[in-house]
Amino acid sequence: MVSVPSRFFMRTHPLVIGNWKLYIETPKEATLLVKSLRKRSRSFSGVEAWVATPATLLPAVVGALKGSALRVGVQTISSFDTGAHTGEVSALSARASGAHFSIIGHSERRARGESNEDVRAQLVQAASAGLVPVLCVGETERSQDGAHFSVVAEQIRSALSGTQSLTGKLIVAYEPVWAIGKGASDAMKASDVREMAIFIKKTLAESLERPAALKVPILYGGSVEPENAASLYSEGGVAGFLVGHASAKAETFISILVGIRQNSR
Ligand code: PEP
- Average confidence score pLDDT of the chain: 92
Q: What is the pTM of this model?
A: 0.94
Q: What's the average model confidence in pLDDT over 62-68?
A: 97
68 phi/psi in degrees, rounded to 5: -105, 165
pLDDT at 162: 76
Is residue 224 over pLDDT 50? yes
As a whole number of angstroms, the distance between CA 34 and CA 36 comes to 5
Please say whether the dihedral angle defined by the alpha carbons of residues 122, 124, 129 and 132, taken in this order, is positive or negative: positive
Report the distance separating Cα 155 and Cα 148, nearest Å: 11
Q: What is the mean pLDDT of residues 128-157?
A: 95
pLDDT of 157-213, one tens digit each? 999 987 665 556 899 999 999 999 999 999 899 999 999 999 999 999 988 887 888
Pairwise CA distance, residues 56 & 30, whole Å: 11
User: pLDDT tens digit string along 8-44?
Assistant: 445 579 999 999 999 999 999 999 999 999 999 999 9
Per-residue pLDDT of 77-134, as tens digits, reads: 999 999 999 999 999 999 999 999 999 999 999 999 999 999 999 999 999 999 999 9
**How many whole angstroms from 222 Cα to the centroid of ligand 1?**
5
Per-residue pLDDT at 7: 41
Rounded to 5 degrees, what are φ and ψ at 82?
A: -160, 175
Is the C-beta atom of 224 inside 6 A of ligand 1? yes
> What DSSP assignment string belongs to 85-96?
-TT---HHHHHH
Q: Is residue 80 within 8 Å of 117, Cβ to Cβ?
A: no
| Average pLDDT for 215-223 | 96
The span from the CA of 233 to the CA of 239, in Å, is: 8
Ligand 1 close to Cβ of residue 245 (< 6 A) = yes
Contact in structure between 175 and 135 (CB atoms under 8 Å): no
**What percent of the chain is predicted at pLDDT more than 90?**
85
Residue 24 CB less than 6 A away from ligand 1: no
Residue 2 has pLDDT above 50, yes or no: no
Question: For the chain, where are the alpha helices, taking DSSP H only?
Answer: 27-39, 58-65, 91-96, 107-110, 116-129, 147-160, 190-207, 210-215, 226-236, 250-262
* Atom of ligand 1 minimally distant from the CA of 245: 9
**Minimum mean pLDDT among 19-23, 143-147, 235-239: which range?**
143-147
175 is known as an active-site residue: yes
Among 131, 107, 146, residue whose Cα is nearest residue 55: 131
Closest CA to 125 of 156, 93, 154, 153: 93
